[in-house]
């Protein structure tokens, strides 16, 4: 008992000592930071903020890159809107001096126990300071600066001034800063016109604009909005009847498609990438006067814009062009009121080469020549259909990819295994939800999908021998004095073996020549491509085409981010036509080289008879006629081992005949790769009457009658194409004519007399 009390006392003393030490260190740091941290009122609202973004030649890109602040006075904001933000973000805003000691203490203890740096517990005042004076790093020193500056600000400004500034600088996603901009973009109205549900929705977004975006994450946004309404009711800001009525209403957005927030400009995409790299908001990049250098290519950007606009479509559209050598995004263009690269969509059949077939070939499960039965299937209740609603029987992997047949893709995924296939795809930057575990993945059936940059970037492996580096807009980031803060590491990951990669690439070349991307077939250089369509042949939602040359990988997407359908538009039509136009523009004077076949890939002659009739891959022997040989490529690690035995032994032809007038009429079925010799039985040696060759089908020929008793037979022959040696069949059935006034056909074993 005494021992237990002693242990408890020791623990209590230790905990108290820890908190005393933390308190003492905090006080010392507080004094130190106080002398070095100064609140600057001019940083709160700066409508002249911009970020300089440079192209690949270090020239300033002309995009304006301004922060679209439309300042609104607090008196012009509805009280319901103000109440929504205070209830969810800082209930005691009007009662504290800038910080909430109780919340900070609770967060501190929780973070210490969990071994994390301090986070959470920020008041509205602290959030305003963080968004205008500091970075977003989660460290104790940064948090302490935030507290000091918040306390200083509270002495300089009134609560209403702080709240007004706060509402005008916070980030609402989709490159929208400030509540007036958010109201104008999401609801096409001014802040003073917002209703209760709209106010609660905007208040809910700011905690995590990506997770609570009403466009991309509607379900999360709805739950968050309803939480805000519940908190407002708890605080007595609205009645329970108002809350219940508002919760019943779905999210109703009225997106202002003419709102100029530059979210789809090349520069803005580079800024968003820089924000993720540096882990600070874009506004802080502007405040710090950092400079962003990119892969931007003005000529390709112009060509991409012209190519996309050439189609004159009313749907959302986007295109991206990536340099295969650098993996740099050289051009990006989107026509949409939404942020396209932040939007995840179902990838459709474009997922097949990187999730299904590439991994299957790499695992030596199949080759481009492998036959798979295209048939009606049911896997644990999952019954996919082909886009054509028809089944083709046995098809090769090459044909299945080029014509985008669904059933073979689902079967192939079952051969590879879903977990293994996903690991391949994840190494290419594709992220899956925890629920993405069904065979619909083979057809692009993901919970959330992926974005165009990630999807197109994954295809760059096919031009890089299976090596992957994530696609990037940025070459470097510097501070205002030119000091380099970031350069990409560009470490390659060998996702596919060189041979497997080329075999998959070869099937994509077939797709561009004669498959769903055959609009590219007339281009005078090697192109590989894959199309994808989400929906059905009546009502589709998304259409893709991704194509690559040795130099560039290009992705085009057309869809409707308001979730309306795009009719019967498919990836093989307008998206592929855009790519063709783009390639014609950028390759006018600089034609790309052909893809190089690695030494680990070999061409093999295959017996097409066995392949077509029995779905077996056998090497052709030297006697198989050229017409029955197909050439296919294989990995040297997965070569066909057995040779065909076809034509090593010839079956004799079947001869039939009759007598008409004074002639013998003989017939047999010929094949054009065989030579046939017709003999008349005679003494002492049989006589060669006629030789036939190069003919197909039934052959009928006439021989004048020479005697009342005559016998005929045929021998079939084939030549070894390597040695010129011949193989002969046995004699055919013997045709015997006796008493030639008869028109009957006689055989060796049956003699007929008139």
Co-location of 27 and 167 in the same domain:
no
pLDDT for 748 equals 42
The answer to whether residue 498 is domain-embedded is no
Co-location of 28 and 83 in the same domain:
no
- Token reading at 253: 């957005």
Strands (E), 457-508: 467-468, 474-478, 484-486, 493-494
| pTM: predicted TM-score of the whole model, two decimal places | 0.78
Co-location of 233 and 195 in the same domain:
yes
CB atoms within 10 A of CB 530: 31
CATH number at residue 78: 1.10.3810.10
Co-location of 177 and 104 in the same domain:
yes
Report whether 309 contacts 75 (CB < 8 A).
no
- 692 SS3 class: strand
The answer to whether residue 283 is domain-embedded is no
The answer to whether residue 79 is domain-embedded is yes
- Token reading at 738: 């006796």
CB atoms within 10 A of CB 219: 8
Co-location of 128 and 29 in the same domain:
no
The answer to whether residue 570 is domain-embedded is no
Co-location of 676 and 709 in the same domain:
yes
Q: Which of 635, 659, 753 is nearest to 712 (CA)?
A: 659
Co-location of 618 and 676 in the same domain:
no
Number of structural domains in the chain: 4
The answer to whether residue 48 is domain-embedded is no
pLDDT for 28 equals 43
Co-location of 726 and 626 in the same domain:
no
**DSSP type of residue 518:** G
- Average pLDDT per 10 consecutive residues for the chain, totaling 754 residues: 60 57 49 62 72 94 70 94 95 89 60 52 86 72 85 92 92 87 93 96 93 88 96 95 94 83 86 92 85 97 96 92 98 91 94 98 96 94 89 96 96 97 98 95 95 98 98 97 95 97 98 97 97 87 97 97 86 97 95 96 94 93 87 95 89 89 90 89 89 90 83 88 80 80 43 32
The answer to whether residue 334 is domain-embedded is no
pLDDT for 25 equals 46
Q: Give a three-class secondary structure readout of 304-341.
A: HHHHHHCCCCCCEEEEEEEECCCCEEEEEEEECCCCHH
Q: Please, what is the end-to-end C-alpha distance for the chain in angstroms?
A: 129
CATH number at residue 682: 2.60.40.10
Structural domain of residue 19, as residue ranges?
1-35
Can you tell me the distance from the alpha carbon of 714 to that of 736, in angstroms, rounded to the nearest whole number?
13
pLDDT for 182 equals 93
pLDDT for 346 equals 95
Co-location of 607 and 684 in the same domain:
no
pLDDT for 551 equals 98
C-alpha distances (whole Å) from 87 to each of 164, 168, 214, 258, 663 are: 16, 18, 20, 32, 109
The answer to whether residue 49 is domain-embedded is no
Co-location of 212 and 101 in the same domain:
yes
* Separation of CA 726 from chain center: 54
Can you tell me the distance from the alpha carbon of 586 to that of 110, in angstroms, rounded to the nearest whole number?
57
Can you tell me the distance from the alpha carbon of 352 to that of 419, in angstroms, rounded to the nearest whole number?
15
Co-location of 216 and 92 in the same domain:
yes
Co-location of 156 and 220 in the same domain:
yes
Report whether 721 contacts 628 (CB < 8 A).
no
pLDDT for 29 equals 47
pLDDT for 133 equals 79
pLDDT for 744 equals 44
| CB < 8 Å & 24+ apart, contacts of 611-617 | 611/369, 611/371, 611/396, 615/371, 615/373, 615/394, 617/367, 617/369, 617/370
The answer to whether residue 386 is domain-embedded is no
Chosen domain end from 248, 267, 285:
248
Helix 79-89 vs helix 124-133: crossing angle, to nearest 10: 90
Can you tell me the distance from the alpha carbon of 76 to that of 23, in angstroms, rounded to the nearest whole number?
43
pLDDT for 707 equals 74
């Amino acid at each position: 008992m005494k021992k237990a009390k002693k242990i408890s006392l020791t623990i209590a003393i230790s905990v108290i000592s820890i908190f005393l030490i933390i308190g003492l260190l905090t006080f010392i740091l507080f004094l130190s930071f106080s002398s070095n941290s100064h609140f600057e009122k001019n940083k709160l609202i700066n409508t002249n903020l911009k970020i300089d973004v440079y192209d690949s030649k270090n020239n300033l890109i002309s995009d304006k890159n301004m922060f679209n602040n439309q300042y609104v006075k607090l008196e012009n904001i509805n009280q319901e809107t103000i109440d929504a933000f205070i209830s969810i973000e800082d209930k005691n805003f009007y009662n504290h001096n800038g910080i909430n000691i109780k919340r900070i203490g609770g967060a501190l203890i929780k973070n210490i126990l969990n071994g994390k740096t301090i986070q959470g517990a920020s008041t509205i005042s602290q959030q305003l300071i963080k968004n205008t004076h500091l970075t977003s790093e989660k460290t104790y020193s940064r948090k302490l600066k935030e507290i000091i500056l918040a306390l200083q600000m509270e002495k300089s400004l009134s609560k209403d001034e702080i709240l007004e500034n706060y509402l005008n600088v916070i980030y609402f996603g989709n490159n929208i800063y400030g509540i007036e901009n958010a109201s104008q973009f999401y609801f096409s109205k001014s802040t003073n016109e917002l209703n209760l549900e709209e106010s609660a929705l905007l208040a809910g977004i700011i905690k995590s604009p990506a997770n609570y975006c009403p466009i991309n994450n509607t379900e999360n946004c709805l739950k968050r909005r309803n939480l805000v309404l519940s908190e407002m009711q708890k605080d007595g800001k609205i009645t329970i009847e108002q809350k219940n009525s508002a919760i019943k209403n779905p999210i109703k957005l009225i997106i202002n498609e003419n709102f100029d927030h530059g979210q789809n400009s090349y520069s803005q995409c580079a800024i968003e990438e820089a924000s993720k790299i540096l882990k600070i908001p874009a506004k802080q990049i502007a405040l710090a006067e950092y400079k962003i250098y990119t892969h931007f290519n003005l000529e390709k950007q112009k060509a991409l814009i012209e190519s996309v606009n050439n189609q004159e479509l009313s749907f959302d559209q986007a295109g991206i062009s990536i340099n295969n050598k650098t993996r740099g995004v050289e051009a990006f263009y989107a026509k949409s009121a939404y942020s396209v690269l932040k939007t995840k969509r179902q990838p459709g059949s474009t997922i097949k080469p990187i999730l299904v077939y590439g991994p299957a070939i790499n695992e030596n499960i199949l080759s481009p020549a492998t036959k798979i039965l295209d048939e009606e299937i049911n896997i644990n209740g999952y019954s996919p259909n082909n886009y054509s609603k028809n089944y083709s029987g046995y098809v090769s992997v090459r044909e299945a990819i080029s014509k985008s047949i669904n059933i073979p893709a689902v079967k192939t995924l079952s051969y590879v295994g879903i977990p293994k296939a996903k690991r391949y795809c994840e190494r290419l930057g594709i992220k899956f939800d925890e629920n993405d575990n069904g065979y619909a993945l083979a057809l692009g059936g993901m919970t959330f999908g992926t974005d165009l940059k990630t999807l197109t970037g994954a295809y760059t492996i096919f031009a890089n021998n299976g090596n992957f580096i994530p696609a990037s807009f940025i070459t470097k980031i510097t501070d205002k004095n030119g000091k380099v803060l970031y350069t990409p590491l560009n470490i390659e990951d060998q996702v596919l073996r060189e041979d497997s990669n080329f075999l998959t690439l070869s099937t994509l070349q077939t797709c561009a020549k004669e498959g769903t991307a055959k609009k590219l077939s007339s281009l005078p250089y090697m192109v590989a491509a894959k199309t994808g369509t989400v929906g059905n042949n009546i009502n589709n939602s998304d259409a893709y085409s991704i194509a690559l040359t040795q130099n560039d990988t290009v992705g085009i997407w057309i869809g409707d981010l308001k979730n309306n359908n795009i009719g019967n538009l498919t990836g093989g039509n307008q998206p592929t036509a855009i790519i063709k136009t783009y390639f014609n523009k950028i390759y006018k004077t600089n034609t790309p080289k052909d893809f190089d076949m690695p030494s680990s890939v070999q061409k093999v002659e295959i017996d097409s008879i066995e392949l077509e009739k029995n779905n077996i891959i056998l090497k052709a022997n030297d006697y198989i006629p050229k017409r029955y040989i197909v050439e296919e490529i294989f990995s040297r690690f997965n070569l066909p081992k057995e040779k065909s035995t076809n034509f090593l032994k010839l079956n004799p032809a079947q001869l039939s005949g009759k007598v008409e007038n004074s002639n013998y009429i003989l017939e047999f079925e010929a094949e054009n790769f065989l030579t046939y010799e017709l003999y008349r039985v005679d003494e002492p040696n049989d006589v060669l009457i006629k030789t036939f060759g190069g003919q197909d089908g039934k052959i009928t020929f006439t021989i004048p009658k020479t005697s009342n008793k005559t016998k005929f037979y045929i021998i079939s022959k084939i030549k070894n194409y390597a040695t010129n040696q011949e193989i002969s069949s046995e004699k055919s059935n013997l045709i015997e004519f006796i008493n030639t006034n008869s028109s009957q056909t006689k055989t060796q074993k049956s003699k007929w007399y008139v």
